[in-house]
């Protein structure tokens, strides 16, 4: 159903940073034709037009998740990764289990991870997958794009990887996959030719995303990757300054702060985004603002690993693009954009005071901010001419009883979202809290078998 009228919403949040909420008095009906929003206001159904009842519901743009690791969907709550900060967590979880992720594991992880995101109202998923190269006997890009297409999600592959691997490997555990620069460039070129769409309404995009600038590639390789990405018209992405270890490493090795060092490698600007950026000083914030560099803010993962709270308001005020990502489910234990925004609302207030990060600002970052970070100029807002990526939250639930401000209730109330409908480009992908045609029990059973197999291969269980 790509042509229809959404009628009678209690409130509508456009995703804009200013004047974000339209009330019923202003008109909140939305007409969609061929996957595009064509009218907003008090609208009358046209003859034969399908009507979606939005009474006792609020309408949002679909969330745009700008940083994730879908393969970690089958690595949630690994016991060895509990109670430790980032570096020992990396060794205990992704670096221990990553080399064991085969095609079956990735298929199950990606499918269930995207399904979990859809069921929170997320319509665009940017996945930072870095298991490429030596020891990988399948094509991860095909698996990931295939999973997204099967569920109708808009998908961005943040194509990671490394030309060198860290020294976590042992006789018992194999090293993480890695590849030469030439292999990485050839694979990136081929992947972009197969999957990348350049338009602002793209259903598929590819981004050049070596795993971590300091540890995954040499400075010369980083510059070559940046230049190749810009020749191909692709964006750039990586992890940066997640913990003080990044700052210490850059200071000791190069005598510079991380953002300034990355800028010297040509990794700065409106086509660049970084996940985390928790530990920045004022000069780095200013540089990101001046260059319109984007951040994928991951508050739950940063809280879970004790990494800190990113200075997102300072980045926003300086002119940087702020977006939101759930990060890998192994450092979050979930993939839920609604809860990510609720956690951000609480975390920033705990750190900075009760007036920090209004819900409207967070909604803007989680929708329009994410779309801008990914170059999806026709996604992320409810406006005429924009793609109909929409989430309709049902308020007929005790959680929302008594709310005076309904437009922000899905974020401020927290908990699981009660979704009446979710659409991607006007195509219905969630109806009444379920994904049409998706055999959830079967996929959950597959996930249990994958987890058991991974534990056995890792020597965790007999």
The second-level CATH assignment, the architecture, of 63-373 is: Alpha-Beta Barrel (3.20)
Distance CA 190, CA 71 (A): 22
pLDDT tens for the chain, residues 1 to 462: 579 999 999 999 999 986 666 655 556 899 999 999 999 999 999 999 999 999 999 999 999 999 999 999 999 999 999 999 999 999 999 999 999 999 999 999 999 999 999 999 999 999 999 999 988 999 999 999 999 999 999 999 999 999 987 665 556 678 889 999 999 999 999 999 999 999 999 999 999 999 999 889 999 999 999 999 999 999 999 999 999 999 999 999 999 999 999 999 999 999 999 999 999 999 999 999 999 999 999 999 999 999 999 999 999 999 999 999 999 899 999 999 999 999 999 999 999 999 999 999 999 999 999 999 999 999 999 999 999 999 999 999 999 999 999 999 999 999 888 999 999 999 999 999 999 999 999 999 999 999 999 999 998 874
CATH of the domain spanning 4-61+380-431: 2.30.40.10
pTM: 0.97
Q: Provide CATH 3.20.20.140 ranges for the chain.
A: 63-373
Show contacts of 245-248: CB within 8 Å, 24+ apart.
Answer: 245/86, 245/87, 246/214, 246/279, 247/279
Judge contact between 118 and 150, C-beta under 8 A. no
Q: What is the pLDDT of residue 174?
A: 80
Query: If you ran DSSP here, which 8-state letter would residue 434 be given?
Result: B
CA angle 189, 193, 197 (to 5 degrees): 120
Q: What is the pLDDT of residue 152?
A: 98
Q: Provide CATH 2.30.40.10 ranges for the chain.
A: 4-61+380-431
Listed residue (247, 165, 240) closest to 209, CA to CA: 240
Segment 177-225, tens digit of pLDDT: 999 999 999 999 999 999 999 999 999 999 999 999 988 999 999 999 9
Judge contact between 302 and 308, C-beta under 8 A. yes
CA angle 133, 139, 141 (to 5 degrees): 100
Q: What is the pLDDT of residue 175?
A: 84
Judge contact between 34 and 424, C-beta under 8 A. no
Show contacts of 436-441: CB within 8 Å, 24+ apart.
Answer: 438/115, 438/151, 440/115
Q: Which two tokens stand for residue 366?
A: 């989680």
Residues 6+ apart with CB under 8 A from 86: 242, 243, 245, 305, 307
DSSP annotation string for 310-329:
--HHHHHHHT-EEEE----G
């Amino acid at each position: 159903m790509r042509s229809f009228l959404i009628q009678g919403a209690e409130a509508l949040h456009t995703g804009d940073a200013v004047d974000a909420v339209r009330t019923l008095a202003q008109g909140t009906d939305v007409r969609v034709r061929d996957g595009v929003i064509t009218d907003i206001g008090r609208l009358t159904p046209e003859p034969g037009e399908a009507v979606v009842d939005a009474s006792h519901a609020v309408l949002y743009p679909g969330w745009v998740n700008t940083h994730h690791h879908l393969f970690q969907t089958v690595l949630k709550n690994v016991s060895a990764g509990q109670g430790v900060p980032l570096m020992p967590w990396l060794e205990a979880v992704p670096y221990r289990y990553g080399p064991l992720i085969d095609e079956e594991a990735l298929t199950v992880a990606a499918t269930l991870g995207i399904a979990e995101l859809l069921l929170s109202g997320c319509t665009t998923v940017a996945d930072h997958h870095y298991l490429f190269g030596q020891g990988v006997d399948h094509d991860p890009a095909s698996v990931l794009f295939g999973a997204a297409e099967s569920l109708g999600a808009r998908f961005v592959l943040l194509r990671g990887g490394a030309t060198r691997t860290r020294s976590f490997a042992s006789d018992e555990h194999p090293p993480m996959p890695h590849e030469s620069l030439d292999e990485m460039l050839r694979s990136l070129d081929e992947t972009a030719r197969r999957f990348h769409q350049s338009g602002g309404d793209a259903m598929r995009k590819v981004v050049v995303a070596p795993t971590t600038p300091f540890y995954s590639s040499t400075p010369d390789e980083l510059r070559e990757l940046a230049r190749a990405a810009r020749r191909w018209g692709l964006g750039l992405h990586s992890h940066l300054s997640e913990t003080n270890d990044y700052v210490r490493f850059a200071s000791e090795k190069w005598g510079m702060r991380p953002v300034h060092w990355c800028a010297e490698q040509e990794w700065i600007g409106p086509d660049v985004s970084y996940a985390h950026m928790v530990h920045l000083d004022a000069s780095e914030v200013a540089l990101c603002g001046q260059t319109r560099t984007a951040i994928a803010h991951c508050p739950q993962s940063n809280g879970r690993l004790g990494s800190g709270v990113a200075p997102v308001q300072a980045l926003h005020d300086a002119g940087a693009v702020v977006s939101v990502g759930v990060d890998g489910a192994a450092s979050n234990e979930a993939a839920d954009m609604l809860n990510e925004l609720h956690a951000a609302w609480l975390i920033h207030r705990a750190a900075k005071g009760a007036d920090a990060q209004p819900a409207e600002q967070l909604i803007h970052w989680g929708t329009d901010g994410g779309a801008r970070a990914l170059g999806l100029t026709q996604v992320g807002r409810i406006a005429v001419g924009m793609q109909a990526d929409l989430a309709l939250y049902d308020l007929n639930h005790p959680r929302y009883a008594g709310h005076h401000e309904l437009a922000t209730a899905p974020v401020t109330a927290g908990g699981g979202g009660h979704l009446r409908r979710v659409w991607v480009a006007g195509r219905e992908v969630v109806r009444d809290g379920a994904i049409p045609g998706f055999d959830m029990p079967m996929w959950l059973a597959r996930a249990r078998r994958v987890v058991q197999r991974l534990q056995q291969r890792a020597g965790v269980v007999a």
